[in-house]
Amino acid sequence: MSDLLLVAGLSLLAAAVVMTVTAYAAARAGRVSVVDVGWGLALVAVALVCAVLGGTWHSWLLAALVTAWGGRLSTHIFVKSRGHGEDPRYEAMLGGTLDQVGMAHAVRKVFAVQGAAVWLVSLPLQAAAVADLEWTWLVWAGAAVWIVGVVFESVGDAQLAAYKRDPGRGPVMDRGLWSWTRHPNYFGDCCVWWGLWLAGGLASGWVAGLASLAAPVAMTIWLVWITGARLLERTMMQRPGYPEYAARTSMFVPLPPKRG
């Protein structure tokens, strides 16, 4: 029990420290969307804490997977958002810009919530740090699902960047992975955390698996209904051609496009 409390407490502390630094950076930048960069970095910090406390190859493998994912994601978001204003999703969530609502409101609504979410999502990493590995084959099965997720995220981002550089592009990105799912990056993110649950939580036994199941379930709910696809689509549906694209393309799970 003491090991569990230590891992849980230091994981929460790591998430809080990163989110505090992120909130300071957001105040200086004048936009809450800086938290999207801090999200990946906070999970990397927690993964490293769990690896140090766990001290096994299993925990260090999970830390390596999270670091590769989080480093790529945070770098991509930082480069993409540099020089841009606030993300409309956060304006809708907060009821205005950071200047309008104030930093205290943003901390309560975004940064504190994100810090708690980081701790919740990291439960499979914490489970692997305190429980013995039961099923090694599940570690590699989870790593395979993680690879699928990272491929969807990175390829989807690259295809979107190529589309934006194309002067002859149409009004809506509907090429490559984007012709099978309207949100390949969110779907990939979901696969990453189900893979980490398999490799970290369930591979550590049924008790650890059930105790950490809330992590991928919560991540899926956020990505689909709360901070991800559904929230983004409120804005995207206003764009010319997007409703038609939505009618023929799966919202989340990749499926062959419908023929009109």
Interval 54-76: pLDDT, tens:
999 999 999 999 999 999 999 99
Within-domain flag for 258: no
Within-domain flag for 255: no
Which residue, chain included where needed, has tokens 């001290």? 55
Within-domain flag for 254: no
Q: What percent of the chain has pLDDT over 90?
A: 73
- Note the helical H segments in 95-241: 98-101, 103-106, 112-121, 123-130, 136-165, 184-196, 206-211, 214-221, 229-236
Is the pLDDT score of 227 beyond 80?
no
Within-domain flag for 173: yes
Mean pLDDT across 171-198: 95
pLDDT band at 260 (very low <50, low <70, confident <90, very high): low
Mean pLDDT across 166-180: 92
Mean pLDDT across 81-110: 84
Within-domain flag for 206: yes
Sign of CA dihedral 33, 39, 40, 44: positive
Give residue 244's domain range: 2-248
Q: What is the pLDDT of residue 232?
A: 83
Q: Which residue has the higher pLDDT, 236 or 92?
A: 236
Of 110, 124, 3, 147, which is closest to residue 63 (Cα–Cα)? Answer: 124
Distance CA 81, CA 71 (A): 15
pLDDT-wise least confident of 61-75, 134-148, 213-227: 213-227
Mean pLDDT across 37-66: 96
Q: Which residue has the higher pLDDT, 117 or 1?
A: 117
Is the pLDDT score of 2 beyond 60?
no
Q: For 168, phi and psi rounded to 5 degrees?
A: -100, 20
Mean pLDDT across 156-161: 94
Q: Yes or no: say if 86 and 53 are a contact pair by the CB < 8 Å rule.
A: no
Q: What is the pLDDT of residue 69?
A: 96
Distance CA 166, CA 2 (A): 56
Is the pLDDT score of 259 beyond 80?
no
Task: For residue 68, give the amino acid letter.
Answer: A
Mean pLDDT across 181-208: 96
Q: What is the pLDDT of residue 202?
A: 97
Is the pLDDT score of 1 beyond 80?
no
* Half-sphere exposure in the Cβ direction for 174 (13 Å, CA): 17
Q: What is the pLDDT of residue 83?
A: 75
**Structural domain count, the chain:** 1
Output the average pLDDT for the chain.
92
Mean pLDDT across 127-151: 96
Within-domain flag for 253: no
Within-domain flag for 236: yes
Within-domain flag for 28: yes
